[in-house]
Amino acid sequence: MESSHELSAPKVLRDGQTSKASKSAADRGVAVCGQVRNGKVTELTAFCDSAMSWRFRMPEKVAKKTKFADELSLSKTDANGLVTVYCKLAKGATGLVK
């Protein structure tokens, strides 16, 4: 069964400078880990126990510098300067950036 959920940008994505987060709990059993260097997401992986559709939001200025995996799609920027990133997560680990 697939499910969908919206998550506000994890701290590693909100900061937009240089930071690293290791397997932080997101929601609905999803955990994320990632790294941002100089405002560019260089690592981002989601972990879950079952396949699902999932989405999260991040600042457009960070999204513009990020090379997302081919399977991901982005919304237009909203009034708050955020984009929604849509993805399908596989059971286990799913890489979200190239």
Contact 45, 94 (CB under 8 A): yes
pLDDT at 47 over 70: yes
For the cut 80, the answer to whether the pLDDT of residue 76 exceeds it is: yes
What pLDDT score was predicted for residue 3?
39
pLDDT bracket for residue 14 (50, 70, 90): low
Q: How many CB atoms lie within 10 A of CB 28?
A: 13
pLDDT at 7: 42
